[in-house]
Structure 1
Amino acid sequence: MDPFNPEVKKEDDIDESSPSTVNPDASLYPQCGILRSIKEESEERPLTVNEALDILEDEDEFFDVYMEPPDVRELTDEDSASEEDEQPERLCGNQLLAGAEIRRRGVADVGKSDDDEPHTETARPPSKKAKKIRQEPLKWIIGEKIMDGLPLFPEPDYSKYRDFSPTELFELFFDEELFEFIVQQSKLYCAYKNWPDISVTKEEIKVFFGILIVSGYNPMPSEASFWSSSPDLRNEAVCNAMRRDRFDRIMRCLHFNDNTKLDVEDKYTKLRPLIQHLQKRSMDHFIPTQAISHDEAMVKYFGKHGCKQSIRNKPIRFGYKVWCQNTVSGYLVAFEPYQGKSHKGNIELQAKFGKPAATVLELIDEYSTEKRNLSYSFYFDNYFTTIPLLIELKERGYNGTGTIKSNTVGKDCPLMQSKAMEKKERGYFMSATASDKNESVVLSRWKDNAVVTVASSLYGSEPIGSVDRWSRVDKKKIKVSIPHGIKMYNKGMGGTDRMDQNINKYRISIKSKKWWWSLFTWMLDMAVHNAWQLSKGQGSALTQLQFRREIAACYLNQFGILPKGKGRKSTTLPAQHFVRYDNLGHLVEPVQDNKKRRCANTGCTSIGRTQCSRCNVGLCVKCFRDYHTK
């Protein structure tokens, strides 16, 4: 069950995809006392966030507090808290009074490896109650059957992108159609708010995006610093491309959907057209690779919104959660922002596989027909992995591999219990096979720094490999046996984390109070990142920094508008050369209505009431002859 989506269930129900609901003895597990008291109190009435924080204030154990999101409404343009003040502990009154749920944090099964391999299991918060998922009875045997092996898969071909510049690759995602759409929606938003027409153009939007990209690799203390008059702050490229007031106005009017046609059931309705466009473009330009990892990405956000999540022990603790499927290199194939428990999703898949596992299948269902029919191998962590999910993937023609929780395996599993295996030496493992009528799944349980279990419809434990681990006893690195399935999981998993690392390295630093701004800039960064992955795939040696600079420089130099010169525009324009010296009808006459005009002769600064009748320029009497003589 999705830990952010608690539902009322029978006490004896068991969720095969959620952590165990068995109540341990309080004498063995002291933290159960606090959980029991919380449960008794919450049964009388729902807890608020403020009450939950008070209860946990003096606790040493790790707990997660989940806050109920409000429903989205028309007022989605309302400003949130200031993004310049990143103090997440400052919760507003509405957040403190919102409904809350407390859950004890789970423990990761795998310790950090010494050779920088990815963690083979990720801690997930256990759910308060569990929902039973109907599952066909499985037949278990000790050991493993011979797996079919890796199916054939076409080699990735990036040749069609060989002659593309960085800007052309970026515009595969943010294309002319999207730029035109943004211009139309921004003008429409100005009319909706009864503001003066912004008269923005596609070229200005490109310059605006270029400045945002610059802020990622050349951040400033504040947005205004780019236009500072101080030479140690001022960015000449930005100043010469767009004025600060114009940037602020475009930023204020930027919009992606018609406010009169918002879907109140969609909490991301303000960004939905942009999300759908980038989902389609990411799929269109995805060069198929066999290994795809499914995981969650966090988009940092400290303001107020119903979909904002708080996940402890994460690099980004507060923000929006996005379900992602990535290649090993980090290219984002498919994504969908998480909308909380009020968003139903695919009810049929959730009932059959559980809400976390259903997200894997929901994203796969969004693949284009051409790319859906390939034999992918999907990798996920223990939050998503269930045996029914692996069997379903196998029946669809895919393979799946993932770490799996001990309580998700079932009581019939003949593998040694994790607690008993913890007493074994490092490198000890055993395997078992679960079969239904048609398909089989191999489970490998391995003792490393901790005990980890990996389930796979593709890999067993053979051939046995080895990894380097530090031995505290021998004071040196030693070789430790590792099952093949776990080794391949480490190799195939981690694409989403790699994307996060690349994006956050040059994350757009200009901030806004709009709730959707951080998601929009994340998608802009994601488009640049995907374009860079295509560039790397076809053999380009450009680093991500060089790639981003190429795009920014192209937009700022090609579409930027130089600032006008200082001072007031002259009211006296010079006469045309052939008229000035033709000696025909040049007479001194008074300026109409007895007004004053500045003398047009070079070097004269006088202001008088006389002018030339033919040249129509202001001239004092003493300069009249000189002005008309070559």
Structure 2
Amino acid sequence: MLSKYMFYSSVTIRRGFTLEEALQMVFSDDIDEIYIEPPDAAILTDEDSGEEDGGGVIDNLSGAQLRAPAEVILHNNERIGGDDQLLNAEDKIVVQNNSSQPLLVQLEKPNWCQGDLQPPNSNFQAGTYVQYKHLTPTQFFEKFIDDDVIQLLLEETSKYALFRNCADPKVSKEEMRCFIGILVLSGYNELPSKRHYWDIDSDMRNELVYKSMRRARFLQISKFLHFADNNKPDLTDKIWKLRPIMDKVKQTFLHYFEPEENLCYDESMVKYFGRHSCKQFIRGKPVRFGYKIWCLNTPSGYLTNFEMYQGNNPRRSPVYEKLFGKASAQLVTMLDELKALKGTQPYKLYFDNLFTGMTLLKYLRDNNYEGTGTIRENRVPKGCPLTNKKAIGKRPRGTYESTLDKANGIILVRWVDNGVVTTASTCFGTQPLNQVKRYSQSEKKLFMYHDHISSANTIRQWGAQT
């Protein structure tokens, strides 16, 4: 199987993989994840062949999903077959945006020197959530699922019943709230299927659900529940059926966001075994089937902004995609939306090596933001004086090197931990050094090692929190 994987890597890397080809390599120990690009949107259905309650089987993937482009991620974070086209460190790109002024991102020729970054003087005006601390969980929930959202659900549910030539279910606001409450409860009180909440056996029945709504009524609302008008499909948008409610919830998230200096941008999986063409398959992860969401979060876990991955998003910015690549372009779009609603603030952004690039860091710095993230070897500028990963990996654990690109204000740091890690930052230098405990396999005991820079601690903390 490994030889077959090597064959695919050498022969098909130029054109990328389909999911079917990637699954032929799925049993290789070298492969960590497989992402698929959603197929084209459908008018009446986005179904695959799996049962809604018993999905999560590869054999249930549809033909359109098997033919969709795929990206293979190895254990060493190397990605094969995906879109990873970013600007070289010396590129100067001028592209036109919607305004009269061209968007200019210029990386100066790197001027490498030994030095450190000084923390910038922060004049960040932080907000506070103190006005919400006395709210009950129900009151807080209703801040986001408010009357406007409930009214949208009632109108579109009624329209869909008529679209199906069925009688109007005439769902009331109280019934819809009760229905949503049952869905929330089912998220932490899982049973084999939704029918089991009304089961006659005491080890299955949930008394709260049983006394709140009849099973037939719950199934009727489930049958007709809709968020968009099927008579007005937008086939350029693969998630057009979810778009109205997503837009409402996104605006609410931004509205109640109180500015915090540190924000994390990453991808997240939402578990989903149902029927939709945007459902992703990721091998080797706790959530193997579901939606992939680009998320902008605060340290406390507040979801500031989000966008569902769907391949070619009709709301994408070709300008940003050309400058930063598909994955990072959505971050810049979210920052634009945040700026439009909350004004300009010097946010500090954190991300992993899927997003980090020298052009993105320079753009953030030029626009009064700061960025920090791990960076891939192929995105490190040519001529960077850091010791290559293979050589530095033979040195003792805790060894680190740093170099400062004085022309662009970006520091690169490479250190030896469990593996060799490289970070890039526009705001965090190598000082102060800290000590951390690490277990030595050879000595079979804990040792204290220098932890190279404050940004390393920051990234680890973000990984634990988000």
Residue 51 and residue 218 in structure 1: after superposition, are their counterparts in 2 closer, same or farther (change >3 A)? closer
Residue number among 425, 432, 435 corresponding to 1:463 in the alignment: 432
- Identity rate, percent: 35
Contact 1:142 1:431 (8 Å CA) reproduced: no
CA distance in 1, matches of 2:20, 2:345: 50
The structure with the largest alpha-carbon Rg is 1
Paired position in structure 2 for 1:295: 266
CA distance in 2, matches of 1:340, 1:192: 29
Superposed CA deviations along residues 236-293 of structure 1, whole A, max 9, x for unmatched, are: 2212211110111011111111112221111111111110011010111112211111
Residue 240 and residue 88 in structure 1: after superposition, are their counterparts in 2 closer, same or farther (change >3 A)? same
**Alignment of structure 1 residues 146-225 onto 2, 5 Å:** 146-149=117-120, 151-225=122-196
Asked whether 1:86 is paired with 2:55, we answer: yes
CA distance in 2, matches of 1:233, 1:132: 53
**Alignment of structure 1 residues 516-555 onto 2, 5 Å:** none
Asked whether 1:386 is paired with 2:354, we answer: no
Residue 256 and residue 132 in structure 1: after superposition, are their counterparts in 2 closer, same or farther (change >3 A)? closer
Contact 2:46 2:277 (8 Å CA) reproduced: no
Q: Which amino acid aligns with 1:274?
A: I
CA distance in 1, matches of 2:315, 2:153: 29
Name structure 1 gaps, 5 residues minimum: 1-28, 109-122, 500-630
Q: Which amino acid aligns with 1:285?
A: Y
Contact 2:179 2:218 (8 Å CA) reproduced: yes
Q: CA deviation at 1:311?
A: 2.6
Paired position in structure 1 for 2:316: 345
SS of structure 2 residue aligned to 1:194: coil
CA distance in 2, matches of 1:129, 1:192: 39
Q: Which amino acid aligns with 2:53?
A: E
Paired position in structure 2 for 1:440: 409
SS of structure 2 residue aligned to 1:261: coil
CA distance in 2, matches of 1:280, 1:57: 39
Paired position in structure 1 for 2:306: 335
Q: CA deviation at 1:386?
A: 0.5
CA distance in 1, matches of 2:5, 2:209: 58
Paired position in structure 2 for 1:493: 462
Asked whether 1:417 is paired with 2:385, we answer: no
Contact 1:153 1:375 (8 Å CA) reproduced: yes
CA distance in 2, matches of 1:132, 1:166: 43
SS of structure 1 residue aligned to 2:208: helix
Q: Which amino acid aligns with 2:293?
A: V
Asked whether 1:106 is paired with 2:74, we answer: yes
Q: Which amino acid aligns with 2:448?
A: K
Contact 2:46 2:276 (8 Å CA) reproduced: no
Contact 2:317 2:333 (8 Å CA) reproduced: yes
CA distance in 2, matches of 1:39, 1:491: 35
CA distance in 2, matches of 1:73, 1:490: 40
Question: What TM-score, normalized by structure 1, do the two folds share?
Answer: 0.66
Q: Which amino acid aligns with 2:52?
A: E
Residue number among 421, 444, 447 corresponding to 1:475 in the alignment: 444
Name structure 2 gaps, 5 residues minimum: 93-106
Residue 334 and residue 65 in structure 1: after superposition, are their counterparts in 2 closer, same or farther (change >3 A)? closer
Residue 153 and residue 80 in structure 1: after superposition, are their counterparts in 2 closer, same or farther (change >3 A)? farther
Q: CA deviation at 1:319?
A: 2.1
**Alignment of structure 1 residues 560-599 onto 2, 5 Å:** none
CA distance in 2, matches of 1:307, 1:214: 25
Superposed CA deviations along residues 353-387 of structure 1, whole A, max 9, x for unmatched, are: 22222121111112153524111110000000001
CA distance in 1, matches of 2:285, 2:137: 32
Superposed CA deviations along residues 296-351 of structure 1, whole A, max 9, x for unmatched, are: 01122345543222233332222221000111111100000011146571111111
Higher strand content, 1 or 2? 2
**Alignment of structure 1 residues 192-271 onto 2, 5 Å:** 192-271=163-242
Contact 1:49 1:95 (8 Å CA) reproduced: no
Q: Which amino acid aligns with 1:264?
A: L
Asked whether 1:38 is paired with 2:11, we answer: yes
SS of structure 2 residue aligned to 1:486: helix
Cα RMSD (Å): 2.8
Contact 1:155 1:289 (8 Å CA) reproduced: yes
Residue number among 385, 391, 398 corresponding to 1:427 in the alignment: 398
Q: Which amino acid aligns with 1:447?
A: V
Superposed CA deviations along residues 439-462 of structure 1, whole A, max 9, x for unmatched, are: 400111111111101100000111
Q: Which amino acid aligns with 1:38?
A: V
SS of structure 1 residue aligned to 2:265: strand
SS of structure 2 residue aligned to 1:240: helix
Residue 60 and residue 481 in structure 1: after superposition, are their counterparts in 2 closer, same or farther (change >3 A)? closer
Residue 160 and residue 304 in structure 1: after superposition, are their counterparts in 2 closer, same or farther (change >3 A)? closer
Paired position in structure 1 for 2:95: none
Paired position in structure 2 for 1:125: 79
Contact 1:320 1:338 (8 Å CA) reproduced: yes
CA distance in 1, matches of 2:27, 2:138: 54
Residue 301 and residue 440 in structure 1: after superposition, are their counterparts in 2 closer, same or farther (change >3 A)? same
Paired position in structure 1 for 2:278: 307
CA distance in 2, matches of 1:344, 1:465: 44
Residue 487 and residue 182 in structure 1: after superposition, are their counterparts in 2 closer, same or farther (change >3 A)? same
SS of structure 2 residue aligned to 1:480: strand
Residue 198 and residue 223 in structure 1: after superposition, are their counterparts in 2 closer, same or farther (change >3 A)? same
Q: Decide which moves more: 138-147 or 92-101.
A: 92-101
Q: Which amino acid aligns with 1:126?
A: I
